[in-house]
Structure 1
Amino acid sequence: MTLLIVGATGTLGRQLARRAIDEGYKVRCLVRSTKKASFLKEWGAELVRGDLCTPQTLEAALAGVTEVIDASTSRPTDSLTIKQVDWEGKVALIQAAKVAGVERFIFFSILDADKYPNVPLMEIKRCTELFLAESGLNYTILRLAGFMQGLIGQYGIPILENQPVWVTGSSSPVAYMDTQDIAKFAICALSVPETQNQAFPVVGTRAWSAEEIINICERLSGKDARVTRMPIGLLRSVQGLLRFFQWGWNVADRLAFTEVLASGIALNAPMDEVYTVFGLDKQQTATVETYLQDYFSRIMKKLKELDYEKTKNKKQKDTKTPFKQSSKVNSQ
């Protein structure tokens, strides 16, 4: 039995690969660059070059595969649009998986995607869920809210570097989850029959607003945040302007997602029944507090070590060597 992971070099994908390998799965990863994915090979995964947007590469990647976990998504730096990757690419993958006789297909969606028809990524996720459900594949859909890993770049680093922290509109509380915990649910779904042909929310222990996250980061770092609020009206204007230019479509589609994060409506869902179905222990799920505390304790320790080395080197430079002292005495 071979498990194909798509998007294995991403924030979530690498955790899926790591956990699957640790649990004894034979893991194959579809990658665009074997060089950038070399760490996956070192872990024990098989690498196959391919691309969702090049459907002819999928047949070879799916040869002999019995299970697929799709964690791929378009990135802000991609030249391709969200529609090309997250819709056309996913449709091609689902169709190819059906032809290849794949027995299970795990797909990651976004919580409440059906409530935002005017947000391209949310509408695409909703449509992909429907397409997968009608494909005839045995599937499991996991609806996510947000990654804890994203909090570091959005809040942690800017606060440490005294850079602006951007907050938009009425901050929507988000039930962030560590990607390691999300990986637990995904790998577990492969072996739990009750998850077949079902969709589940997979979110953190509680929802956090931007202000609450900032307060935690300030307390743990000992620094004050420079909060800058971006009016939602201004972002809408920029989004509308970008749609006049083809090169701006991808950026405009991503800006549209701020409508979700600035709506004031929480991205959260009850999880007690989900933990029961998957047979996992909620007490072992990381919380935002523990995740950020671990990050800041490590980074603050590193900063102290760097400061110590800097001070030590400065003192050594300021100390006169015996040779210099001797030279000064002889000159007198």
Structure 2
Amino acid sequence: MKILVVGATGTLGRQIVRHALDKDHQVRCLVRSTGRASFLKEWGAELVRGDICKPETLPSALEGVDVVIDAATARATDSASIKQVDWQGKVNLIQATQEAEIKRYIFFSIINAKDFDNVPLMNIKYCTELFLQESGLDYTIFQLAGFMQGLIPQYGIPILDNQPVWVSGENTPIAYMNTQDVAKFVLKAVEVSGTEKQTLPIMGDRAWTGGEIVALCEKLSGKQAKISRIPIRLLRFLRGFTRWFKWTLNASDRLAFAEVLASGKPMDAPMDEVYEKLQIDRDDITSLEEYLEEYFSRIMKKIKEIDFEQNKKKKKKKGSFFK
């Protein structure tokens, strides 16, 4: 099967590429820069230059493709806005897919998106869901909650470096999942029947609050976290302030997501039906405890090795001094 992955250099996209190649699919990646995506070519993927914000670049990328997996999203540092990438870009890609007569389309949304029309990213995700449902394509919409990979820079690294862990006083539990496991669900949806024109959640079996994650990181690292709390009203002010400047619009839209985290509405959903439909064993899916335990175990081992080498060098220097 020939699969086009859009957003292939991202946290999720690269895992989808890796998993698809491991399952012997032909993988083509739509990329804006071949240099930045060279690792995908080394893995065995085909690279095609293009940009979903430039519809004229899409037809050639779609030639001969059986499935489009759309994992693209605007980054906070992008010059293009969330609206340009996550809405107009997606419309361009969906329409180009229709014109290429490709029926299968995979899209990633966010759980509870329809409940936050005041948050740009959530509203755009929900509107894209509706657009896809009316497109006539054999879509599968996966609603995600959060990626475990994002917990490392947010909690793990600051705690290890004795730096502040910045929290907004959020009390929203989130059912995080490893992106490698998300990729398993995605490829299963491509391979098994019965997922066409379906909207399915993909998330961990347990939702975690920020406080619970901090406590787990402290336990696994043996270090105490320094918590710095940002009032939600300050985030609202910063969002309003950054809206005045064109170059900070994307950051402003991202800040608006704090409203979701402070809502208290769990980002969670039952997964029993999804596991059954996609024929996936729960035991093959990484729990958050397992993910963080593996991370801290690896890092703490490395720290001990570095300390050992440094102490060995110090002892050598001391010995040479007395000779």
Partners of 1:171 and 1:264 within 8 A in 2? yes
Q: CA deviation at 1:135?
A: 1.2
Partners of 1:66 and 1:101 within 8 A in 2? no
Q: CA deviation at 1:313?
A: 1.5
1:71 aligned onto 2:75: no
Consecutive unaligned residues of structure 2, counting only runs of 5 or more, are: none
Partners of 2:76 and 2:251 within 8 A in 1? yes
Paired amino acid for 1:97: T
Query: Residues of 2 paired with 1:306 and 1:50: CA distance?
Result: 43
CA displacement, residues 66-122 of structure 1 (integer Å, 9 cap, x when unaligned): 101011111111111101111111110101111111131000000010000000000
Query: Residues of 1 paired with 2:39 and 2:170: CA distance?
Result: 40
**Alignment correspondent of 1:97:** 97
Query: Residues of 2 paired with 1:98 and 1:38: CA distance?
Result: 29
Query: Residues of 2 paired with 1:308 and 1:153: CA distance?
Result: 26
**Alignment correspondent of 1:198:** 198
**Alignment correspondent of 1:150:** 150
1:21-170 to 2 correspondences below 5 Å: 21-170=21-170
Q: So what's the TM-score if we normalise by structure 1?
A: 0.95
Measured on the aligned residues, the alpha-carbon RMSD in Å equals 1.1
Of residues 47-56 and 120-129 in structure 1, the stretch that sits farther from structure 2 once superposed is 47-56
Paired amino acid for 1:119: V
Consecutive unaligned residues of structure 1, counting only runs of 5 or more, are: 326-332
CA displacement, residues 26-82 of structure 1 (integer Å, 9 cap, x when unaligned): 000111111111111111111111111111111111111110101111111111110
Query: Residues of 1 paired with 2:161 and 2:234: CA distance?
Result: 26
Query: Residues of 1 paired with 2:246 and 2:290: CA distance?
Result: 43
Give the 3-state SS of the residue equivalent to 1:189 in structure 2. Answer: helix
1:274-313 to 2 correspondences below 5 Å: 274-313=274-313
1:188 aligned onto 2:193: no
Give the 3-state SS of the residue equivalent to 2:237 in structure 1. Answer: helix
Partners of 1:55 and 1:93 within 8 A in 2? yes
Give the 3-state SS of the residue equivalent to 1:149 in structure 2. Answer: helix
Paired amino acid for 1:157: I
Paired amino acid for 1:249: L
Paired amino acid for 1:202: I
Query: Residues of 1 paired with 2:10 and 2:306: CA distance?
Result: 30
Give the 3-state SS of the residue equivalent to 1:320 in structure 2. Answer: helix
Query: Residues of 2 paired with 1:5 and 1:295: CA distance?
Result: 28
Equivalent pairs counted in the alignment come to 323
Give the 3-state SS of the residue equivalent to 1:276 in structure 2. Answer: helix
Q: CA deviation at 1:317?
A: 2.2
Partners of 2:77 and 2:251 within 8 A in 1? no
CA displacement, residues 113-145 of structure 1 (integer Å, 9 cap, x when unaligned): 000000000000001111111111111000000
- Which ranges of 4 or more aligned residues in structure 1 deviate by more than 3 Å? none
**Alignment correspondent of 2:15:** 15
1:200-219 to 2 correspondences below 5 Å: 200-219=200-219
Q: Which has the larger radius of gyration?
A: 1
**Alignment correspondent of 1:328:** none
